[in-house]
Amino acid sequence: MAKLQPGAVKQITEICNRYKNEPTPTMMILEDIQNEFGYIPLEVQELVSELTGIPVSEIYGVVTFYSFFSMTPKGKYVIGVCLGTACYVKGSQLVLDKFSEILGIKPGETTADGLFTLDVLRCIGACAIAPAVSINGKVYPQLKVDNVKNVIEEYVAKEA
Ligand code: FES
């Protein structure tokens, strides 16, 4: 906890106070922290436990169970490849494998330069344009394996 900045402690305290009258506030608190900070490291979980009385083991269990929560910072660009049924039958596993191969990371990981995180999504409601890939909310329709390199380069070029 010593690593947390005073501003972060203040914000987390405010979030916990927001739900102090809720009978089961764990998910709500963690969702707000995830949205606010982008990840929920162990020292934050310990602070939430201290502030709310919820055991760290329970908080840790929730954070590690739901893929929405992350204990490490996400990359600047979060690539979500849909592996829902419609996308899967249109070859999204191959698209995911290509992203993985080019970026050198597995799903759930972030590149060492902090630029890209690769995630697996379940149906994002874009089945008509399967296979669908979302990058920071922008949806790429019918993304072909051969186009994966171009898509990555589009984002790398933005950083140049
Ligand atoms: S299955 Fe991929 S968008 Fe529906």
pLDDT digits (tens, 9 = 90+) for 53-110: 999 999 999 999 887 888 888 899 999 999 999 999 999 999 999 999 999 999 989 9
Give the whole-angstrom CA distance, residue 57 versus residue 61: 6
Give the whole-angstrom CA distance, residue 11 versus residue 57: 22
Question: Is the whole-model pTM more than 0.75?
Answer: no
Ligand 1 mutation pick, 87, 90, 119, 134, max ligand atoms within 8 A of CB? 87
Give the whole-angstrom CA distance, residue 108 versus residue 98: 15
145 in contact with ligand 1, CB cutoff 6 A: no
CATH architecture classification, 77-159: 3-Layer(aba) Sandwich (3.40)
Note the pLDDT tens digit of each residue in 18-49: 999 999 999 999 999 998 988 999 999 999 99
What number is the average pLDDT over the span 103-131? 94
Give the whole-angstrom CA distance, residue 16 versus residue 52: 7
Q: Is 57 helix (H, G, I), strand (E, B) or coil?
A: helix
Contact 143, 131 (CB under 8 A): yes
Q: What is the mean pLDDT of the chain?
A: 93
HEC assignment per residue over 5-45 = CHHHHHHHHHHHHHCCCCCCCHHHHHHHHHHHHCCCCHHHH
Ligand 1: atom nearest CA of 92 is 2
Ligand 1 mutation pick, 96, 123, 142, max ligand atoms within 8 A of CB? 123
6 has a pLDDT exceeding 60: yes
73: preceding bond cis by omega (within 30 degrees): no
User: In the chain, what are the domain boundaries?
Assistant: 6-65, 77-159
What is the pLDDT at residue 1?
42
